[in-house]
């Protein structure tokens, strides 16, 4: 669990240090982006490795039908993380579609992973995305949406999200539990 928690801390640090230490960030210039990227990448590596080796017990059982709800939520998460919401007609006024998609993805994983390591990892990532929305909204209060796009763009990115879900689900099944059944 130590590596998992350290990875989460590096993820938070890599994302928030710009606003927590603006002078230090500004003094570094372009190198600050490299430091942020390094902290985040190392954090992801620690989270993945720490999650895989964590000695964790299930806290409860979940109904098998939640797997289908999870897959549907991940489909919508992929759509919100695509350019679709900002280029389409349905969600173009949404300020944080990528972070919203990230929250949906993390909550979907909490639903079907009842072990402590999953609760810590996906719970911390959910909290991070919510905090990121709050921090961005406070730092940049005068946001305006892009012009309204077309339903065709929404449909195109939704179909792409379905294809991506199939690919990710296949790869997920190769390296861990399959999200599509036994």
Structure tokens at 33: 């982006």
Q: Are 105 and 126 in contact (CB under 8 A)?
A: no
CA distance 116 to 26: 38
pTM: 0.90
Tens-digit pLDDT profile for residues 89-142: 999 999 999 999 999 999 999 999 999 999 999 999 999 999 999 999 998 999
Tens-digit pLDDT profile for residues 41-79: 999 999 999 999 998 888 888 888 899 999 999 999 999
């Amino acid at each position: 669990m130590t590596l998992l928690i350290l990875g989460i801390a590096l993820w938070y640090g890599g994302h928030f240090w710009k606003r927590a230490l603006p002078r230090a960030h500004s003094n570094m210039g372009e190198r600050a982006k490299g430091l942020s990227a390094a902290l985040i990448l190392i954090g992801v590596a620690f989270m993945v490795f720490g999650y895989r080796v964590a000695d964790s017990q299930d806290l409860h059982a979940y109904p098998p039908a939640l797997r289908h709800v999870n897959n549907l939520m991940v489909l919508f998460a992929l759509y919100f993380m695509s350019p679709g919401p900002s280029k389409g007609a349905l969600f173009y006024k949404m300020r944080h579609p990528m972070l919203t998609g990230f929250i949906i993805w993390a909550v979907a994983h909490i639903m079907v992973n009842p072990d402590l390591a999953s609760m810590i990892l996906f719970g911390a990532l959910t909290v991070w995305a919510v905090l990121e929305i709050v921090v961005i909204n406070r730092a940049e209060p005068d946001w305006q949406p892009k012009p309204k796009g077309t339903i065709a763009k929404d449909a195109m990115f939704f179909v792409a999200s379905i294809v991506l879900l199939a690919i990710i689900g296949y790869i997920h099944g190769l390296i861990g539990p399959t999200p599509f059944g036994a």
